Chains A and B, each alone.
Chain A
Amino acid sequence: MRLLKKQQLAAKENLDKRVFLEGAAGTGKTTAAIERIKQLIRSGAPAGSILIIVPQATLAAPYHEALKRARVEGAGSVRAATLGGLAVEMLDLFWPLIAEEVGFARPTQRPHFLSLELAQYYMTRFIQPEIERYDLFNSVRIQPNRLYTQILDNLNKAALVGFPHDQIGARLKSAWAGDVEQAAIYDDAQRAADLFRDLCRQYNLLDFSLQVILFVQFLWRREPPRRYLTRRYRHLIVDNIEEDNPAAHDLIADWLPECDSALLIYDREGGFRRFLGADPDDGYRLKALCEVQLELDNDRVMSEEVAAFRYELGRSLGRRVPAEKPNAADARDAIRFADSRYLPQMLDWTADNVRRLIVDEGVSPKEIVILSALLPDALRFALQTRLSERGITSRTHRPSRALREEPAARALIALAKLAHPHWGMPAEKYDTIFALSAAIHDLDLARARLLVETGYKNNQLIPFAQIADPEIQNRVTFELGGRYERLRAWLARYQAGDPQPLDHFFSALFGDVLAQPGFGFHRSPDAAAATANLIDSAREFRQTVSRIEPDLAVAPEYVKMVDQGVIANLYLRDRDPKLRDAVLITPAYAFLMSNMPVDYQFWLNVGSSSWGQRLYQPLTHPYVLSRGWKPGRIWTDADEYATDQEMVYRIVSGLARRCRKRVYIGFSEIGEQGIEQRGAVLTAVQGMLRRLSREAAGV
C-alpha cells in the first residue's frame, strides 16, 4: 500500500516511540495504524504483544478485516479491546486479590458481571419498589426502562469521569437554575443511584460503573494485575481517543511510559459518543505525552464534489471555514435532493434510487448506506419492504432492536406458558393462535384460530382427535392436525416430567419439534437466530439470578420480565454472512461509529429535529457530568443551542467525510408524527442550495 510521507512517519518509522496522530476522518489515520502493526510484526514484535484499544468494538472492524487479510504472520491474532472488555477480563482473573478490600458484602464469592439487560432487571426488581415507596420521580413521564438507563448512566459517568457517585445529584443541581421540580428529580436520581450501588455491593453485582471503578482504581494500582497487562502488551495502538472517556484516557496516560511504543489516533471532528461519556477535550491532553506529534490533512475518501459539499454545508451551518474553498468543484454535483410532501414518497424515491444504482450502474450494495437520525421500527420495516419489492437485499443495524418482538421469540414464550401451567401465567388466546401459526408450517392464522377456539381450554391444548367438530378438523386438515398433535404431545410429555431450565426447554422444543420438517422454524435462519438469542438471554438470566436468589422461581420470573419489556429488549446481532453484501440501513450515529466509508449515502428525513438534538434525558446531563465542567456554572439555553448546532455540524461533516461519491438527501415536509419538519440539517441544505444558486448567477 502506498502511504503518504506523514503516514509513513507513523507506519514505518518511529516504531520505538509514542506517536500522536491527529486528523479528520478519511485522512488515512487508521490505514497508517494498520501498516504500523504489520511493520511491528515484521520487525520482530510478537502479534500477541500488540494491543489495539478502541472505545467500542465496532471501531475495531477495519483492523480485524485488514489484519486477517494481511500477508504477515500472526497479524490476524492481534487483539482489540475496549476499556470495558479489559475491565471484565482483569476482574475475572484478579478478583481474589482485591475482594477483601473493595467493600462488598460477599468478598469470598465470585462477582457477577451485569449486562445492561440484567442491570435493568435488578432495577425493576429491587429499585422500582423503593421508587414507589418513596414516590421518587413522580413528575417524570417516561418509560421505566429509560428511567433505569439514565440512573445507570449517571453511575457510569461518575466512574468514567472519576468523581464519587454520591455527588451525582449535587453536580446536576449546581448547573440547574430552573424550577424546583427538576432539582427534585436530580435528588431522586441521586437516591436511586445510591440504592442501586448498595444493592450491587450487597450481592457482588458488577455493573459497568463498578467494573470500571474496580479496574481503574484498584486493579490497575496493584502490581500483579498491572504487570500482567503491561508485560503482555508492549505496543499500544489507541484509535478514536476522542470517542473514549476520561477513565480510558487516564489508563493510557499511565500506560504510555511503560510500553515500548504507542500510536494514539485522534479525530479532530469526532466526539459523537459524548452522551456515552466520550470526552474529546480530555483525550487531547494525551498529545503532550507523546514524543512524536503528527497531523494528517489530505483527505483520501471524499470526491472533490463531496469535499465541496461538506465545505458549503459547514458555511450554511454558520461554521468558520477557511476563506479558500477546498477545490473548484460544485457542491451541488455531490448531492441529489428530493423534496417530498409525505414520508412514503421519500421512501419510494430512496428505494428507486438504490435500485437504479445497483441495477443500472452496477454499484455494489455494500457501497450504499441509508441513514437517518433515528431508526424506528416502522421506518425500518417500510424501507426494507420497498427494497425487497425491488429485489434489493438489505440489512439493518439498530442498537436496540427488541428480541421479544421477533415472531419466533414470541411463539416460544407462549409455548413456554402452555408447558408450565403451574406458573399461573396462562397464555393469552391471541398469543396461542400466533404461536401455533408460527410453530406449524402452513398453518395460517385463520386455521390456528379455529384450533384454539375449539381446542384450547384451561391453558391446555386438547388432542386433535378430541376436537368434536369434524368440520373443524377438515378445515384445519389432518396433515396440519398431525403436526399440531405432535407439538401438543411433546408439550404434554414435557409437563409430565420435571420442569427444566427455561433455556433448556427452548432448546429441546426447538430441536425436537419446531426445527423439524413440517414446522415453522425448519430451515428458517431468522427463527433459529432469534431462538438462539432468546436462549442466551434466558441462560444468562438463570445463571446469574439463581446464584443470587436461589429460592426464586427463575423461569416464570424471566417470562414475566419479557412480558414487561425489561428483558429480551435489547440488541440483536446481525450475523448472517449472506448479508455482508447488502445495503445497510442504520442510524447515523451507528454508521459514524463503524469507521467504514462508502460510495453512496442516503440521508433520510433531514427535516427531523433529531439530527443533532440531545435526547430528552431528565435525570442526567452529558456536559454537566463531564470532567471539563466547571463547578458552579449554570447550563443555559444558549449552551443547549450551541451544543446542538455543534453536534449537527459534526454529524453531517462526519458523514460527508465517510462518503466517496454522492449523498442523496431525502426530505418529507410532513414527518412521521404528521408534523411539518424544519430541522437544522434541512435548513442548512436549503440555505446552501439557494446561496450557491445566487453565487452561480452572480447575484
Chain B
Amino acid sequence: MTLPDDFSFSQTSLSDYADCPRRFELKYLLEQRYPAPIVAEQLELEHRIEQGARFHHLIHQHQIGIPPDLLTRHLDDDELLAWFALYLRSGLDDLPQVRYPEIALTVPLGDHALTAKFDLIAVDLGERAVIVDWKTGGRVPRADALAGRMQTVVYRYVLAKGGAHLNGGAPIPPERIEMRYWYAQGGESIRLPYSAAEYARDEAELRRLAAEIAARADFPLTEETRRCAFCIYRALCDRGDRAGSLAEWDGEGESDDLSGFTLDIEQIAEIAF
C-alpha cells in the first residue's frame, strides 16, 4: 500500500519504520489494530504507562498555572509525589519563562508533513529555546545514544523549521535550540545542544527517509527477529507466540501511541451524546 498524500510522519512512525518497515505499513498505512500484548507483564506495563501519563498531566496542570499544593494534596502514589517534588526542585532549572506545554508543531517534509508533540517548549524571545521531554523510566541512556534517537532528531528539527511563531515571528536558529531530557526518578538532566550543521544533516536524512517510504511498493519484515517479541504484530507475521519480558524491553512506557492506551477525548464526547 502506498503512502496517502495527506500522511503526516512523527518520531514514533519513523522509529517504527526504522525498526521494521512491515510494522510501519501495518500500523500507519493499513491502520491494522492488533491487540496482542507488547510485553508479557501487562499489568506492570499498564502501571508504568499510567504513572507516566499522570506525571505528564501533573506537569501540564502546573505549567498552566494550577498551584502545586492543589495538585499534590491528595495524590495517593508516593512515587508520583516524589517525582513531582523533584520536578519542582530541579525540573525547571534554567528554563526560559515563556512556556508552551503539550504543544504540537507540523512542518513540511518532502511531499508530506512531519509532526512533533512536545512535552514543553520554553522560549526566551530572540535568545534561545529549550525543548523539554519528561522521562519516567528508570534507565538513563548516555547522551550520545540520546542524540542519535529519532525523537531528538525530529524534535530539534521541527522546532528549528517551524517554531518561528513561538519566537515573535523569527525562525529559531539551530544553535539557539537545546533538547533536554529530564529523568523523574533521579532528577538527572541530559542537555543536547543543536547546530546548523546538525540541522542540515537531519533535514537531509529525514527527507531521504520520507522519500524512501513514499517510494516503497512493499514493506519487508525486519531481519532483527528479536524485536518481534515486543511487537504486537508478531502473530500476524508468524514471528512468535509469546510476548517478551518487560525487563528486556527497551521501550519507555510513555509512548504517545501505544494502541488502546490513549483516551480518545473526541470519541468519548461523541459517544456521550
Interface of A with B (CB < 8 Å)? 44, 46-48, 56-57, 65, 68-69, 71, 73-77, 81-85, 87-89, 92-94, 96-97, 108-109, 113-117, 119, 156, 207-208, 211, 224, 228, 276-277, 500-501, 504, 506-508, 510-513, 515-517, 522-523, 525, 528-529, 531-532, 535-536, 539, 570-571, 573, 575-578
Contacts and interface: CB of A to CB of B under 8 A. Distances in A.
14 contacts: A44-B165, A46-B166, A65-B6, A82-B266, A85-B269, A89-B265, A93-B66, A96-B70, A97-B70, A207-B272, A507-B35, A508-B37, A511-B35, A523-B236
Interface stretch (B105-113, B180-188, B191-199, B213-221): B105-113
B65 A578 contact: no
A108 B64 contact: no
Contacts, number: 169
A528 B32 contact: yes
A506 B271 contact: no
A277 to B, nearest CB: 7
Contacts of A97: 66, 70
Contacts of A115: 268, 271-272
B88 interface: no
Which applies to chain A's interface (DSSP): helix, strand, loop or mixed? helix
Contact of A84 (B43, B238, B241, B273): B273
Contacts of A119: 272
Contacts of B1: 577-578
Given A57-B267, A88-B269, A571-B271, A510 B35 contact: yes
B35 A73 contact: no
Given A77-B106, A108-B74, A115-B268, A515 B238 contact: no
A507 B46 CA distance: 13
Given A74-B105, A96-B61, A504 B43 contact: yes
Contacts of A56: 270
Contacts of A83: 269
B137 interface: no
Q: Which 6 pairs of residues, A with B, have the shortest CB-CB distance? A: A511-B36, A84-B269, A68-B6, A515-B235, A208-B272, A46-B165
A417 B104 CA distance: 44
Contacts of A570: 271
Classify chain B's interface size. Answer: 35 or more
Given A56-B270, A88-B268, A512-B242, A531 B66 contact: no
A84 B260 contact: no
Contacts of A515: 34, 36, 235-236
Interface string B31-45: 111111100001100
B13 interface: no
Nearest to A504: B42
Contacts of B224: none
A224 B61 CA distance: 11
A427 to B, nearest CB: 22
Contacts of B144: none
Nearest to B64: A228
Interface in B91-108: 103-108
A87 B108 contact: no
Given A56-B270, A277-B273, 18 more contacts: A46-B166, A48-B103, A57-B266, A76-B8, A82-B269, A93-B66, A114-B272, A115-B268, A224-B66, A228-B64, A500-B43, A504-B46, A511-B234, A513-B241, A515-B236, A522-B235, A532-B35, A577-B30
B36 A92 contact: no
Nearest to A571: B271
Given A207-B272, A535-B260, A577-B31, A88 B265 contact: yes
A576 B242 CA distance: 26
Contacts of A113: 268
B29 to A, nearest CB: 7
A100 to B, nearest CB: 9
Contacts of A571: 271
B130 interface: no
A83 B165 CA distance: 27
B115 A93 contact: no
Interface string B216-247: 00000000000000001011101001110000
